Amino acid sequence: MKEFVTERLRLRGWRRGDAPALAAMNADPEVMRYIGSGAKLYAEALERAESLVRERPGDGLGLWAIEESATGVFHGWAGLIPLDDTEEIELAYRFAKSSWGRGIATEAARPLLAYGFDELRLARIAAVTDPENRASRRVLDKLGFLYQGLRNAYDVEGCCYYTLAEAAWRTIEAESFDSTTSP
């Protein structure tokens, strides 16, 4: 699995040692508040986490573990996956409560979007979130996603559905580059 490094983060493939932190995150009711399946009992979450750690997708898609580059602290995961088993590709993410409000979701998403558009040659990337999940909606807005309305996804009715077209991403990235390089 390709690895990405940002100013603060490393997005990497899963390791066996990630399973306990991933399971704890998925067992946290606050983290799982907006997830249709809800919080899991730790034992169930650990079983699922161990399964995820063993998965090795070969199509360039998947979920990356996210850790702090300097300390190795586990923050959560982000990835590009089929949206609810459709042909559409979704930017998805989930973070431990201790990682909230620090810009980690936005920072982790940027290299995945670049990878999706540059290497996977996607024409657009989608995202879904609970209408009440204002933090996730802000992340999508910051990244340039456009709200398209409500849709059902993952057995949940009325998810906010967003898309980001490759051309829009290029414009946003060019503007971002220009603003960081101008005197």
151-160 tens-digit pLDDT: 999 888 999 9
C-alpha span between 35 and 113 (Å, rounded):
22
Give burial (CB, 10 Å; 0-12/13-18/19+) of 161: buried
When divided into structural domains, the chain yields a total of 1
Query: Which stretches of the chain drop beneath a pLDDT of 70?
Result: 37-58, 177-183
122-172 tens-digit pLDDT: 999 999 999 999 999 999 999 999 999 999 998 889 999 999 999 999 998
C-alpha span between 6 and 126 (Å, rounded):
22
Domain of 26 in residue numbering reads as: 4-181
What is the CATH number for 34?
3.40.630.30
